[in-house]
């Protein structure tokens, strides 16, 4: 699904922010919205849009919680998301190998 026919790259990860979110989530159990925002250096709205699209693809899970009265939304990667991400990395590696 959604694969570039030539290279096997995943189109969802064409975007730098979506790729960044996935890179962070595969090595962390759970990350809050604010931590993501800080690490990726993006605006709230921009990050939210990309998170929604990743969620719609089934790549990430959203957990809504509270710290006191403030909402604390955290994200984690799904099995499907992890596989898609690994496939994408493999495709990138193959491309680099092919170029040498």
Partner 1 sequence: MSDHNQPQDTLQEVKDIRQMMERSSRFISLSGLSGIAAGIFALIAAAIARYVIFENYYNDYNRRGGFQDREFRDLKVQLMGLAAVVFIAAFVTAFYFTWRKSTKQGVSLWNHTSRRLMWNMLIPLVAGGFFILGMLQYNDWSYVSPACLVFYGLALVNASKYTLTDIRYLGYCEIIIGLINMQWIGYGLYFWALGFGVLHIVYGIVMWWRYERA
| Closest to 57 in 3D by CA, of 16, 24, 31, 18 | 18
Query: Would you count residue 2 as binding partner 1 (CB under 8 A)?
Result: no
Query: Within 10 A of 53 (CB to CB), how many other CB atoms are there?
Result: 15
- The single residue among 44, 48, 70, 96 that binds partner 1, judged by CB under 8 A, is 96
- Of 1 and 27, nearer to partner 1 (C-beta) is 27
- The single residue among 9, 42, 47, 54 that binds partner 1, judged by CB under 8 A, is 9
Query: Within 10 A of 25 (CB to CB), how many other CB atoms are there?
Result: 23
- Of 20 and 81, nearer to partner 1 (C-beta) is 20
- Segment 14 to 73, residues that bind partner 1, using CB under 8 A: 14-16, 19-20, 23-24, 26-28, 31-32, 35, 38-39
| Closest to 46 in 3D by CA, of 77, 25, 15 | 15
Q: In the complex, which residues of this chain contact partner 1 (CB under 8 A)?
A: 7, 9, 14-16, 19-20, 23-24, 26-28, 31-32, 35, 38-39, 89, 92-93, 95-96, 99
């Amino acid at each position: 699904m959604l694969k570039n026919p030539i290279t096997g790259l995943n189109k969802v990860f064409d975007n730098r922010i979506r790729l960044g979110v996935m890179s962070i989530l595969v090595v962390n159990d759970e990350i809050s919205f604010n931590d993501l925002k800080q690490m990726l250096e993006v605006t709230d709205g921009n990050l939210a849009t990309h998170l929604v699209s990743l969620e719609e693809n089934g790549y990430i899970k959203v957990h809504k919680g509270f710290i006191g009265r403030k909402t604390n939304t955290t994200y984690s990667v799904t099995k499907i998301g992890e596989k898609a991400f690994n496939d994408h990395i493999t495709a990138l590696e193959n491309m680099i190998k092919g170029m040498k």
